Amino acid sequence: MPASPSSTPTGEKTALPALRPAVQESPDYPFTHHDAPVKLDQNEAPDDFPAELKEEVFDLLRAEPWHRYPDMHAERLRAEIARLEGWAELGVVVTPGSNVLIHALADAAGIGGAVVTVSPAFSLYGLAGKLLAEDLRQVPLGPDFALPVAGLIEALSVGSGVLYLAEPHAPTGALHANADLRAVIDAAGDRWVVVLDEAYAQFSGADLSEFYSRPNVARLKTFSKAWALGGARLGYLLAAPELASAVRKLVLPFNVSSFALAAGQVAVKHAGLMTERVQNVVSERERVHSRLVDLPAWHAYPSFANFHLIRTPDAAQAWRLLLDRGVLVRRQDSLPGLAGCIRVSVGNREDNDRFLQAAAEVSAIQAG
């Protein structure tokens, strides 16, 4: 039920009528913390950032003057990222997590305009649309989570603003064909900023480089998944310098702390370690998938990311029965088209074995 401008989503009267209705009416980010021995609910890296690398971060931080502001635009880390990515330094914007960039891009191009994305999608795109844009257009994915090319082209035919696409897609784990993406990105022309969210790109093997040099394409990358630095809050944008400098105005100066910057610097210095760990996750993903497809009553979709989306007969029951067995996963069944679905991160071998054991029991119960 839509709330009236003077009440909260739960219908209470708000004490702050000064707040914009869009802010009052927007739901909170849907996440509740739970503890469990096997934590597979947030698509984090299965293993911690290595202890010897933490020591390197501590060494950097000991030498850093804490009473001084950090680099204004993370210049030192930005240079390292530019080298790693083979990208112009001025085309890199570093932020406390890439989520900040989702909002910054809506700030840059969505206010007074539109936000276009698919449905289901990462919930922050819709939230940015609701909070900041005048018009939110969510185009349903096709069968097997195909990119709805015609629907997107239609949605992009009127107005201007931001288009958000995650490749691989979240939360389905699907990867869309470059030809489909090309048709959509061509249709966006220069009236839309096209955001390619590459949070899971390292796990996919896809090559989207044909889109990178377009002046209106912004790529988002994060240290939260492949890099095992979810706690550091660090992400970045890669775009043409002109678009990047516009976004830089909106993320505010000094927005990344010295602590996060130190962690990022050490991570990038040891990029080979990240690549190695990604390979392990990918081979575990394939091992887990080959077991999931044999389970009764469950359907595991193919994944190009570090998680599996699984359709069960009853997501609430599957979630509870898995948690009873020590395995925490994430429900996705409140998203459009994802009735019965849960999302499960790919963990390390031991965690995956515990999940597979629990999954065998729970799917058998659900098969009845």
Ligand X SMILES: *Cc1c(COP(=O)(O)O)cnc(C)c1O
Q: Which residues bind ligand X (CB under 6 A)?
A: 43, 97-99, 122, 166, 170, 197, 199, 222, 224-225, 235
When the beta carbons of 70 and 97 are compared against ligand X, the nearer one is: 97
Cα(173)–Cα(169) distance, integer angstroms = 5
Nearest approach, Cβ of 124 to ligand X (angstroms)? 7
Residue 253: asked if its preceding bond is cis (omega within 30°), the reply is: no
Which is nearer to ligand X, 91 or 126 (by Cβ)? 126
Distance from C-alpha of 60 to C-alpha of 50, rounded to nearest angstrom? 16
- Cβ 98 to ligand X shortest distance, Å: 4
Q: Where are the alpha helices (DSSP H) in 26-140?
A: 51-63, 75-85, 99-109, 123-132
Minimum CB separation of residue 220 from ligand X in Å reads 6
To the nearest whole angstrom, how small is the minimum distance from the Cβ of residue 229 to ligand X? 9
CB atoms within 10 A of CB 66: 9
Residue 235: what are its φ and ψ, rounded to 5°? -150, 175
Secondary structure (3-state) at 43: coil
Minimum distance of ligand X from residue 260's CB (angstroms): 11
Q: Which is nearer to ligand X, 98 or 216 (CB)?
A: 98
C-alpha angle 22-151-175 in degrees, rounded to nearest 5: 95
Closest CA to 99 of 212, 236, 217, 225: 236
* Rounded least distance, CB 287 to ligand X, Å: 22
- Which is nearer to ligand X, 122 or 145 (by Cβ)? 122
Q: Minimal distance in Å, beta carbon 63 to ligand X? A: 27
Determine whether 330 is exposed, middle or buried from the number of CB atoms within 10 Å of its CB (0-12, 13-18, 19+).
buried
Please, which residue, 222 or 255, has the CB nearer to ligand X? 222
Q: Provide the edge-to-edge strand list for the sheet that holds 114-119.
A: 92-95, 235-238, 217-222, 192-197, 161-166, 114-119, 135-140
> Smaller CB distance to ligand X: residue 236 or 355?
236
The nearer residue to ligand X, 189 or 231, going by C-beta atoms, is 231
Query: How far apart are alpha carbons 351 and 357 in whole angstroms?
Result: 10
Comparing CB distances to ligand X, the nearer of 216 and 222 is 222
Contact (Cβ atoms closer than 8 angstroms) between residue 102 and residue 128: yes
Q: How many CB atoms lie within 10 A of CB 267?
A: 25
- Residue whose Cβ sits closest to ligand X: 97
Largest CA distance in the chain: 63
Closest distance of CB 172 from ligand X, Å: 11
